[in-house]
């Protein structure tokens, strides 16, 4: 697949997830979040809106010290700054 064949040197500074469903979100997080550089951003478009997307994000980050933040001027998206 495209995701699994990506270069191990790939570095991502901004990753926008807008899939709404559990499976595409959990797959994207598993393969792509580790490639986000320190200080990079993960935008989660419908976190807290669509149950599948919300569950995938919560499961992925459940054992990680991550702060999922909301923009002060809108209900969506939420974001994570990678530390």
Non-local CB neighbours of 13 within 8 Å, separated by 6+ positions: 36, 37, 39, 40, 41
Question: Which one-letter DSSP state was computed for residue 6?
Answer: S
With a cut of 60, say whether residue 1 has pLDDT above it. no
The confidence score (pLDDT) of residue 21 equals 95
pTM of this prediction? Answer: 0.86
pLDDT tens-digit profile of 10-65? 999 999 999 999 999 999 999 999 999 999 999 999 999 999 999 999 999 999 98
The confidence score (pLDDT) of residue 9 equals 83
Residues counted in the chain: 83
Sign of the torsion angle spanned by Cα atoms 8, 65, 47, 44: negative
């Amino acid at each position: 697949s495209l995701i699994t064949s990506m270069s191990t040197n790939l570095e991502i500074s901004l990753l926008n997830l807008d899939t709404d469903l559990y499976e595409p979100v959990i797959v994207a997080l598993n393969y792509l979040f580790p490639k986000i550089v320190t200080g990079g951003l993960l935008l989660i478009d419908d976190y807290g809106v669509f149950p599948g997307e919300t569950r995938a994000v919560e499961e992925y980050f459940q054992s990680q010290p991550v702060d999922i933040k909301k923009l002060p001027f809108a209900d969506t998206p939420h974001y994570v700054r990678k530390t």
